[in-house]
Amino acid sequence: MVKSEKIESPVVDGAVAERVGEIDRERIVRRYMEGYGVDVSEYFAGLATADIYECNATGYRFYHPFSLTGKEHLYRELEKTTDGTYKDDKWEYREALSFIPGSCRVLDVGCGKGAFVVLANQAGHETTGLELNSASAMEARQRGIDVRTELIADHANKNSPAYDCVCSFQVLEHIPDVKPFLDSCLSVLRPGGLLILGVPNNGGFVGLDPDAVLNMPPHHMGLWTEESLTALTHFFPLSLRAIRFEPLEELNWYASVMERRALSNSVAQAIYYKLGISHLFRMWVRLRKSKIHGHTIMAVFQKADEAKPTNPR
């Protein structure tokens, strides 16, 4: 089958996305197995590559075909071997709460085991969570947390725009059909309400790591940056309130990525490590970590009081 070099953008109706790269199937399957003991070969049946496309309207990059999107059993398997999937507290949770005023109705889309729901309730908000991982949602409910196993589209069909804030942390990068997801989030958000999105920052070191297999399908389907998040304001009834970057926490990961990019050959690598420069570089990273952008970027949007045209350009 001949690959299409252009397809429809999943973000903007009528916009085009062009093919800009690919990742070999065998490389992805091997890295998932070596790193996490998870066999993802079923997702690549009949495929030689995962293709990368870029939306011409927003600069958003994503993987294609969308049949590569991970299913619930993949996340259950990965949860067994990865740390931090469902932390009780995260930088982005605290940062988001600093933008939510007073006592608000808050919806957390893709809430996991309800950690942010708990923190938001403790801050005085009335919070509901949506989570499709049925095991995680059940665990949350057993702890008395209001978490529903429901798609945001289904929730939107049953609820008027009554939420003051809709949050979604580390979810949008898993979503292939971005526009319907965002439309549903906005449909339950009152005019003037906040939409807060936290995603991996592909404009930073995460996007520079060619071996970050969890940033590839079937785990991730989208590669968000500050530019592509900001561009959403041109095509949705949103204004940008703030962009926030998580300070660096993954010091060794960051240092390894930067070293691999700088050391182009084995001779340079041998000299670098023999002279102990690697140790000095990591000391420098520790000293500078608060100034270096870390894993996550968070965008805070405000919904317009009146809907504007989908594509005003």
Whether 60 maps to a domain, the answer reads yes
The confidence score (pLDDT) of residue 167 equals 98
Residues contacting 86, CB < 8 A, separation 6+: 79, 112, 113, 115, 136
Residues 96, 198 share a domain: yes
Q: What is the pLDDT of residue 194?
A: 98
Confidence of residue 3 (pLDDT cuts 50, 70, 90): confident
Residues 110 and 244 in one domain: yes
Sign of the Cα pseudo-torsion (111, 114, 117, 123, in order): negative
Tell me the pLDDT tens digit for each residue of 207-240: 999 999 999 999 999 999 999 999 999 999 999 9
Name the percent of the chain lying above pLDDT 70.
95
Say what the pLDDT of residue 282 is. Answer: 95
Residues 75 and 112 in one domain: no
Q: For residue 244, give the nearest of 124, 115, 97 by alpha carbon.
A: 97
Domain count, the chain: 3
Cα distance between residue 40 and residue 45, in whole Å: 10
Assess whether 269 and 298 both reside in one domain: no
pLDDT range class, residue 4, cuts 50, 70, 90 = confident
State the average pLDDT over residues 22-49: 96
Look at residue 2 in the predicted model and tell me its pLDDT: 57
Give the pLDDT band (50/70/90) at residue 313.
very low
| 118-125 mean pLDDT | 97
154 and 34 belong to one structural domain: no
Region 270-287: mean pLDDT is 93
| 312 band by pLDDT with thresholds 50, 70 and 90 | very low
Residue 312 or residue 199, greater confidence: 199
Of 224, 229, 218, the residue nearest 66 (C-alpha): 218
pLDDT at 311: 46
Confidence (pLDDT) at 206? 97
Give Cα 240 distance to the centre of its chain: 18
- 211 occurs within a structural domain: no
Q: Which of 80, 101, 131 is the last residue of a domain?
A: 80
What whole-number distance in Å separates Cα of residue 104 and Cα of residue 109? 16
Domain around 177: 83-204+229-248+294-303
218 inside domain: no
199 and 153 part of one domain? yes
pLDDT for res 81 = 78
Whether 120 and 155 map to the same domain: the answer is yes
Of 277, 137, 125, the closest CA to residue 194 belongs to: 125
pLDDT at residue 106 is higher than 80: yes
**pLDDT average, residue stretch 95-101:** 97
**Of 62, 80, 98, the domain-final residue:** 80
CA distance linking residue 148 with residue 146, whole number of Å: 7
96 and 164 in a single domain? The answer is: yes
In a domain, residue 64? The reply is yes
The answer to whether residue 158 is domain-embedded is yes
105, 164 Cβ separation under 8 angstroms: yes
Is the per-residue pLDDT at 204 higher than 70? yes
> Which of 80, 98, 117 is the last residue in one of the domains?
80
Average pLDDT, the chain: 93
User: Which residue type occupies 46?
Assistant: G
Asked if residue 209 is part of any domain, the answer here is no
Q: Is residue 114 part of a domain?
A: yes
Q: Is the dihedral of CA 129, 134, 140, 146 positive or negative?
A: positive
Give the three-state DSSP class for 303: strand
Task: Judge whether residue 309 has pLDDT over 50.
Answer: no
The domain that holds 180 is classified in CATH as: 3.40.50.150
Examine the domain organization and report whether 98 and 148 are in the same domain.
yes
Residue 147 lies in a domain: yes
Mean pLDDT of 232-259: 97
